[in-house]
Structure 1
Amino acid sequence: MSQSNVLSFDIWDTVIRRACHPDEIKLYVSRYIYLKFNRYLNTSYRDYYDIYFERCKLEGEIGSQSKLSGNDDEYMHSEVFRALLNQISDGTIPESEDVIGELIKIELEQEKYVTYLDSEIEDLIHSQQRKRIFFVSDFYSNKKFIEELLAHVGFKVEYSGGYVSSEVRLNKRSGKLFQYFHTEQSINADEHIHIGDSLIADVESPQKLGINTIHYFHEVEEKKRENNRIKFEQRMANKGFKINISKANESIVLQENSYKELNEIGRENGIIFFTFVMEIIEEAVKKGYSKIYYLTREGEFFKKIHDVILDNNLYGLKLPESEILEVSRVATFAPSIQNVTLEEFMRLWNQYSTQSMDAFFQSLNIDIKNFAQFLDDYSIDSKEEIQYPWLNLKIQSLFHDINFCDKLKEELEGKRSLLLKYFAEKGITKNTERIFLVDIGWRGTIQDNIANIFNETIVDGYYVGLYDFINKQPFNTTKTSFIAKEVMNSVLRFVSPFEMMCNSPSGSVVSYELNENHIKVKKVNDRAEDSVHMQFIKYFQDGVLSIGRELTHLVKNHALTSQDLKKQSVTTLQFLLQEPPKILTAAFFELAHNETFGLGKYVEKKVKFPYLLTLMAVVSKNHRRKLKQFIENSSWPQGLLIYKGLDLLNRYYNKHMSKLFQSTNGIINTGSSDLVNLQNEVEDQNRLLGERYSAMMEMEAMIKERDLTIKEQGKLLEERYNSMMEMEKLIKERDHLINVLEEKLRHKLNG
């Protein structure tokens, strides 16, 4: 046994182990900075990886400056953070000196979260029976930082003190830190034994000075360390991370095997929903929101995920609260109507160009009986499906009736008054500067309605997916989609099954009522829809929520964001919808989908499959076309084929469709630039212009037809001419808006 009186030990990967790669601690702090101080960052720092790389660069520069001064390439937390904050924000982050202390504290807390005590090191140190024991570490924090970590992991060895490279600008790799230690403690090298894991810093370097060394190698821990290194390198290569969720705990007891299967399916696909809500929270933090409003009904499920994330504090900073906003298209459309005109109702008819007056009044949640006399006066059959109602002579005459307009306006204003009271109870008033809404998709109609009601409030909307907008977008809205626009068709072309997975049994909101100075939300439930939820979807959603603790632990351990998980989550969603479990397809085809807004009814998803047509499609191109049209009309082709046991046909269908989408398949949205937004807006406005021109041509054709049979009705012709003029005015407004957007686009391209 050595006769040395002094023993020193290394800290990292000797006494203290990490459950992640060391640089993921730096990524954690970089993520914190990126989210909390996002509005101060220079535009070149597009994600938290950019901040991490800048930190590494500054560490190298400060270390080099230290070496030029005759020391080793060492640096302290505080000076790196000071330089980093200044570099990434041009010095605009307020109270940056306080922020430096905040970041050091954040890094310490994350170190505590991921660190644990090596299981064998204490026995080794005790076996040496040294009189005096010290730690000697190459690290960029101070001694107090390390002592807090040793206490946190429960290190029970009594030590006399410690030396850290950053405090004296000397390190173990050069041997100078050991020499400094010997001078401070008045000892010779041959009196000193050192324990550590690094072959260079803890073995070769001290041995050159005559220090006795023990190379510490813990095989099990080193395998974990190597695995963390490999994962980190893969992550840094593509800015992505693969999450693997464990199987459900066998102790979970469910009444039937089908429930257990649904629970496991939920676990396997939970990353889809958690990644979406993570992105929502991250965007809200970056924009400085303190509350996120989740819209019913799917928002009730998203809110549960939000609260799991809050409970597990995976970002290390204060996150926005969650609140349910009980709304629907039916409950918000009528209050959003400002004037009773044909143009105002185009927001409805642009989506449902064929509609009966019965469906029209159901979309407004207004009793048609109160307007029956007006319909009789103009010989309008309430059940008749009218194509292009705004061009129909009877409907036009109805909307020129002042008494009808006044009565309808009175009903609409009453609904608006109640909705405003409900929103006020939720903390939203006409004076609210901005609100953050979350819904499942798909065009943001409810957000449009809310934005038209609160027209001086900025309304930010976030969605799983968005399709091309049909209506002109309110100027006070922004809409962001989790799934990129260019892959929506290949990933989420049919939305009904996904809506089913996110649905709740709370009922659809139809209106608001005043009940003793409190607004009561009136809802309607469909028994068949609720039955599907209670028999199937509840267990699927429970499975999703059950991965919360495990997933958030992984996210916090490795300092991940939604962008790191996005590729995996979108791929998982695509597979879920294209190769669905049969039990989910059974749930879907038992469902009645609520289409009260627009169609005025629930739409049954049950279908009778044409097996004979399937056989004939084998030899006939015409029958293949008919078969494809049939399964497309089911609202979930892959679900229908799996449900009917036609797995082989489903694989053929997926292969066929993938060829159609291969040019865009696999592109994941990681955030769009202003340039892309402008391009998209120009495209949308051009499309709207084309629709207006088409409507104008249709109107012109109708005028010619009327002229042939109604030569004496000059007044009617004059009204048609005025309508043409109004349409031309709209077209000119569109032309002007497109010119402005194209000018901005040219400016971006030239800039």
Structure 2
Amino acid sequence: MKYYLENDSDLQKSKKIIDKYDYIGFDIFDTLLKRNTTSPHDIFEIVNYYFKKEYSRSIEEFPKKRISSETQIWEKSYGEELTLDFIYDSISNINERDKEILKEIEIQCEILYCQNNLRLFDLYNYCVKRHKSIVLISDMYLPKNVIKKMLSNSGITQYSDIFISGEEHKSKARGSLFDLVLSSKNINPKNMLFIGDSLKSDFLIPRFKKINTIKVPTNPSNCQYFKQGDFKNLNLNERVLLSCINNNAYKYKDYNRIGYEILGPLLIGFCYWLKLELKKYNLNNVYFLSRDGFIVKKAFDILYGQEFNTYYFCVSRKSLSVPLLCDVKKVDNLRELIKFRKNETLSGVLNRLGLEVNSLDISEITFKRERIFNDKNITKEIEKYLPEIRKNAKKQKSLFLKYANEHIKENRIGLVDIGWHGSMQDYLHDLLPGLSVEGFYFGLDRNVSNKKHAYLNNSENDLFDPQLISSFRGVIETFFSAYHGSTDSYSPNGAVFCKESVDFKTLEIIKNIHQGAIQLVQDVNRLLLDMPLSANFVYYPMNQLLTKPTISEIKLFRDISFSDVTNKKLLPSDLSFFKLLLHPYKTYKLFMDSDWRIGFLKQLFKLPLRYDSFMKFITKKFS
């Protein structure tokens, strides 16, 4: 039987080993418990951060002094004399009052940033269910009562005894703590199994004492999309976020995991940036536009809702553009007001112009959008409906102004949306000329106004490539979609949502992604510090999915219906290279109509190619 465990399969096999013993010993830190930091030394930086936050001053080189003191004591006694009190007593050039404050902050930070190790928690619970006598053994300077509280907070309460080097003045590293456990509990070493992460202290030393051992990984990578080795020089806040993801992603699968590792970090980074921007422009009232602002508002309210007044404002390009058609005299006036699809039908055009088309007798011929303005027959057909379009527009303008006046009570507001063009901000400017609006977006196709601000592409970041938006628009908008239809129009009672056919499978997928994302927001809410999160860092896993998807990710998203207007699938389920050879033109049309062209190419060819570079090239070449 293998006693050196490296993966989940080995951990499950260890249950068979556990069954052979009456006494099971566990190491505590990096075995039963994990810190939400990439290194134990990060805690000392966090201590200094909170000290400075509370007292408006910092202790010069505190982390370095704290580490040095601990190291010197350890080297002299192999941990047998290492206690928190002794560590702080040995630090020079810090007054006694500050030492006591720092020591208390360290204890509270250790408690706050600690959680159970999900992999080992399963083994611990197995031992409890099998009625094993569980003994916890640790080389640690923290007081026993503090460690017991950390264990209790992590759901670890059922154990027969706990031995801490700092309390017993003996250590695992020297073997003396194992001697104490065996003698005080009257345990035959051959009837005991010890589980821990340290090769020397938890594996070799107890084996020398005739105790059987299982070695578990110290810092396994649990992330599927967010690898710890992908970044260097992360700031403290980023290390906390990454550690929290790595410690918890293990328990999530498929869409929950995508939400936890991909959407969650992006929401957290954007919300922190948004908070800073709102304060920069002295804005207390922020309006999240439906539908893409739905999940963003949910995350922002958890993180910073107590600092701002937040509202969910029901609008869409259609609901805001139709009221602007009151004075339209000819079809050519529509060029700047309405965004038509690449391929249109007459009913689609009239619907976009605000008419209820179900009652109209209209032919359903598909045509390119350029023909709306260039084809006299189509232009003439649309002009027949202009009087009715103007009449409906006046009604909708009146109803929208009523809705806006009921919900907007200020002269200056912040507006939040996913981005691309920021056209709804322009519409609001035309409909509410007395309202000053600052727009905040994830990414913008073009910065056409100093009133529009983008998170991913601004003076500091250039991560969002407008040339690639058509290559993955469907995926990212699906991530941010709400659970209701888009805003179609307004009635005296408020916004009216489109009666779109609901794809329940897609709705369930979106909910699972959102559930994972919000869970991460909740997990890190108490842990995050008031310092920036690099846009490059939080956008990385999303960008990897959008531009370098794997075959397994293609399968996860293949059947999702992209609910813009057409409700079509993101990717054809029957796409293959063989069909490309049989029907090249049909495949080309499907590709051009796809809302995830990079995913389309990956599904078609299945090779590890730079499809994103190819899309940049053809977009630039044929734009």
CA contact (8 A) 1:248 1:264 kept: no
Q: Which residue is equivalent to 2:137?
A: none
1:547 alignment counterpart: 520
Task: After superposition, give the CA deviation of every residue in 1:40-97 in whole Å (9 maximum; x if it has no partner).
Answer: xxxxxxxxxxxxxxxxxxxxxxxxxxxxxxxxxxxxx9xxxxxxxxxxxxxxxxxxxx
Correspondences of 1:98-247 after superposition (within 5 Å): 104=55, 138-139=93-94, 148-149=101-102, 235=233, 243-244=242-243, 245-247=245-247
1:568-579 mapped onto 2 (5 Å cutoff):
568-579=537-548
Pick from 335, 348, 351 the counterpart of residue 362 of structure 1.
351
Amino acid at match of 2:607: R
Report the alpha carbon displacement of residue 639 of structure 1 after superposing the two structures with TM.
3.2
Partner residue, 1:463: 441
Which amino acid counterpart does residue 409 of structure 1 have in structure 2? Answer: R
Whole-angstrom CA distance in 2 between matches of 1:445 and 1:280: 19
For the 8 Å contact 1:285–1:319, the answer to whether it is kept is: no
TM-score by length of 2: 0.58
Q: How big is each residue's C-alpha offset from its partner over 1:565-603, in whole Å with a ceiling of 9 and x where there is no partner?
A: x2222321121123446665446443443444xxxx544
Instruction: State whether residues 547 and 611 of structure 2, in contact with CA within 8 Å, keep that contact through their aligned partners in structure 1.
Output: no
Against the structure 1 CA distance between its residues 127 and 488, is the aligned structure 2 distance closer, same or farther, given a 3 Å change threshold?
Answer: closer
Distance of 2:401 and 2:309 partners within structure 1: 22
Given that 1:505 and 1:530 are in contact with CA atoms closer than 8 Å, whether structure 2 keeps it comes out as no
Mapped partners of 1:239, 1:124: distance in 2: 28
Does residue 405 of structure 2 align to residue 424 of structure 1? Answer: yes
* Contact kept? 1:614, 1:624, Cα under 8 Å: yes
| CA pair 400-635 structure 1, distance change in 2 beyond 3 A | closer
Q: Work out the number of aligned pairs and report it.
A: 448
Q: Is this contact kept in 1: 2:489–2:496, CA < 8 A?
A: yes
Residue 634 in structure 1 maps to residue 615 in structure 2: no
Equivalent residues of 1:240, 1:567 under 8 A apart: no
Alignment of 1:325-336 (within 5 A): 325-336=313-324
Aligned match of 1:187: none
Task: Give CA deviations for 1:354-383 in whole Å, capped at 9, x if unaligned.
Answer: 64442222113322478x6xxx9xxx9685
- Aligned partners of 1:638 and 1:650 also within 8 Å: no
Alpha-carbon distance in 1 for matches of 2:546, 2:91: 56
For 2:489 and 2:284, the matched residues in 1 are separated by 28
Q: Counterpart of 2:246 in 1: which secondary structure?
A: coil
Aligned counterpart, 1:296: 290
Q: In structure 2, the residue corresponding to 1:464 is in which secondary structure?
A: strand
Equivalent residue letter for 1:20: D
Q: For the structure 1 residues 651 and 107, does the alpha-carbon distance in structure 2 shift closer, same or farther, using more than 3 Å as the test?
A: farther
Kindly provide the amino acid, as one letter, of the partner of residue 319 in structure 1.
E
Q: Distance in 1 between matches of 2:236 and 2:92?
A: 32
Q: CA deviation at 1:625?
A: 9.2
Distance 1:265 1:420, change over 3 A: same
> Residues 533-612 of structure 1: matches in 2 within 5 Å?
533-534=507-508, 536-553=509-526, 555-556=528-529, 559-563=530-534, 566-580=535-549, 585-586=554-555, 588-596=557-565, 601-605=566-570, 607=572, 609=574, 611=576
SS at structure 2 position matched to 1:542: helix
Distance 1:443 1:135, change over 3 A: same
Distance 1:395 1:627 in 2: 29
Pairwise CA distance, 1:495: 0.8
**1:190-230 CA-partner distances (Å, limit 9, x unpaired):** xxxxxxxxxxxxxxxxxxxxxxxxxxx9999xxxxxx9xxx
Mapped to 1, the partners of 2:539 and 2:356 lie a distance apart of 43
Contact 2:316 2:488 in 1 (8 A): yes
Q: CA deviation at 1:104?
A: 3.5
Structure with greater Cα Rg: 1
Distance in 2 (CA, whole Å) between partners of 1:136 and 1:606 is: 62
Aligned amino acid, residue 429 of structure 2:
A
Q: Aligned-pair distance for 1:304?
A: 1.7
How do 1:252-401 residues align onto structure 2 when only pairs under 5 Å count?
A: 260-269=253-262, 270-310=264-304, 319-337=307-325, 339-342=327-330, 344-348=333-337, 351-352=340-341, 355-368=344-357, 385=367, 387-393=370-376
- 2:349 maps to a residue whose letter is F
Alignment match, 2:417: 439
How far the C-alpha of 1:490 sits from its partner, in A, is 5.0
In structure 2, the CA distance between the partners of 1:235 and 1:143, relative to structure 1 (3 Å rule), is: same
In the alignment, the residues of structure 2 paired with residue 383 and residue 127 of structure 1 have an alpha-carbon distance, to the nearest angstrom, of 84
CA distance in 1: counterparts of 2:107 and 2:540, whole angstroms: 42
Q: 2: CA distance between counterparts of 1:464 and 1:576?
A: 17
| Alignment match, 1:52 | none
Where do 5+ consecutive residues of structure 2 fail to align?
1-38, 109-170, 174-196, 198-218, 220-228
RMSD, aligned α-carbons: 5.2
* Structure-1 residue corresponding to 2:42: 20
Structure 1 residues 135 and 466: alpha-carbon distance in aligned structure 2, compared to 1, 3 A threshold: same
Shift of 1:496: 0.1
Contiguous gaps of at least 5 residues in structure 1: 1-16, 30-76, 78-101, 156-216, 221-226, 253-258, 312-317, 618-622, 665-690, 692-751
Amino acid at match of 1:482: L
1:415 Cα deviation from its structure 2 partner: 0.9
Aligned counterparts of 1:319 and 1:149: Cα–Cα separation in 2: 28
Q: Which structure has more helix as a fraction of its residues?
A: 1
For residues 505 and 312 of structure 2, what CA distance do their matches in structure 1 show? 23
- Structure 2: distance between partners of 1:301 and 1:486: 20
- For residue 561 of structure 1, report the CA deviation from its aligned partner: 1.0
Q: Secondary structure at the match of 1:504?
A: coil
Matching of residues 435-514 of structure 1 within 5 Å: 435-468=413-446, 477-483=451-457, 484=462, 487-489=465-467, 493-514=471-492
Partner of 2:496: 522
Q: Distance in 1 between matches of 2:388 and 2:588?
A: 47
Q: In the superposition, relative to structure 1, how do residues 394 and 552 fare at CA in structure 2: closer, same or farther (>3 Å)?
A: same
The equivalent residue for 1:171 is none
**SS at 1:340's partner residue?**
coil
Distance 2:295 2:247 in 1: 22
State the percentage of identical aligned residues: 19
Separation of aligned partners in 1, 2:491 and 2:401: 11
**Which secondary structure does the structure 1 equivalent of 2:452 belong to?**
strand
